[in-house]
Copies of this chain bind each other. A is one copy, B any other.
Amino acid sequence: MADEVGLERLTLAGLAERLGVRQPSLYKHIDSLAGVHRSIAIQSKRELGDVLARAAVGRSGADAICAMAHSYRKWAVLHPARYQASNVMPALGDIEDEAVSIAAIQIIADVLTSYELQGDDAVDAIRALRSILHGFVSFETGGGFALSADVDRSFERLIQGFIVALAHWGEFGDNDATQPTNPASFEQPTGTRGPRR
């Protein structure tokens, strides 16, 4: 229902109607609307993480980045509301949500390991890749690319550009790559922090 009508127009009234049930009856199965949003977010993060992991298996380097990027985009376009939900930050102290959030981001981080970036260099690369993917997909799913020019081609270009930039990654920035590694572990999704259920 979220993917059909949009996350913000997912109402309990409408959901109950679809289920052939009165609205208060839903509360035998859910906590609140916020709880539903949280469930969708967690499920979506898990799904996206799985999709990305499956895309990257058996690949490395630029090949892995490419495969993952295309899977990311495809999944997001197919499930726009779920994609949106996957970018909602966990509520403070929501351990389960935090876990799946980190897990999904870790997949992206892992794909970059073959470039053997250290410390902040790696953090920068992960942030860059996440930004690129999210930015492009946001515009695409939101209808922000109105021109007739081939969107597939634009995306391919963007990814190839990132791979080129990665090859030169050490050449710009202050290059004080002295921090510990495993840098992705605690980055988070974006968006307003989810309510505490």
Interface range on chain A: under 10, 10 to 19, 20 to 34, or 35 or more? 35 or more
Say yes or no: is A6 at the interface (Cβ < 8 Å to chain B).
yes
Nearest-neighbor residue (CB-CB) of A88 within chain B: B142
A interface: dominant SS: helix
Closest 4 CB pairs of A and B: A135-B135, A142-B190, A161-B165, A131-B135
Chain B residues contacting A158 (CB-CB under 8 Å) are 124, 127-128, 131
Also in contact, A173 and B160, with CB within 8 A (given A123-B147, A134-B135) = yes
Nearest-neighbor residue (CB-CB) of A128 within chain B: B158
Say yes or no: is A150 at the interface (Cβ < 8 Å to chain B).
yes
Taking a contact as CB atoms closer than 8 A, the residue among B87, B136, B141, B165 that contacts A131 in the complex is B136
Q: Output the least CB separation between A184 and chain B (Å).
A: 8
Say yes or no: is A145 at the interface (Cβ < 8 Å to chain B).
yes
Chain B residues contacting A173 (CB-CB under 8 Å) are 153, 156-157, 160
Q: Mark A121-160, 1 if CB is under 8 A from B, else 0.
A: 0011101101111111011011111110111011011101
